Amino acid sequence: MAMLATPIVAGTLAGCGPVEYINQVSFKAASALAAAKEAQADRYAPYEYTAAEAYLHKAREEAAYAQYQDSIEYGRKAEEQAHKARAIALSHMTTSTSTSDPSKGSEPPKGIEPPPRPDPSKGIEPPSPEPPPSKRSAGE
């Protein structure tokens, strides 16, 4: 009876690699990368996002050669980098939206003064445009 149970257990364990690969690479890593892309991690965290893409690509490549344990490990790294990229992108987006208040309008940065505007009460008018060069007389 022990001899009969051994092939069944070995057959069950042999099937775990592809099952875990599907769970880790196809679901977890791929969805983490999609969430990072949605958070614009490719813009705000390009290193982490690119690393996640490369790890996911390598995980799929290793699975094509039936190297499931290596593939799963690359899938874990892809998921980890994708989570880092998403966190960086979200923190960048929250800091950029909290520093700009739409009710204030567009103000110049501190320390930079806008150019002075003419005061209409003093009668200052903007200079009139010069005529185009073709209409100037030769005596000017």
Q: How many helices (H) and strands (E) in the chain? A: 6, 0
Q: What is the full DSSP assignment across 58-69? A: HHHHHHHTT-HH
Query: Stretch 69-81: mean pLDDT, rounded?
Result: 93
pLDDT digits (tens, 9 = 90+) for 12-61: 445 577 888 888 988 999 999 999 999 999 999 999 999 999 999 999 99
What separation in angstroms does the CA of 75 have from each of 25, 48, 105? 5, 14, 45
pLDDT at 138: 57
pLDDT digits (tens, 9 = 90+) for 87-110: 999 999 888 766 555 555 555 566
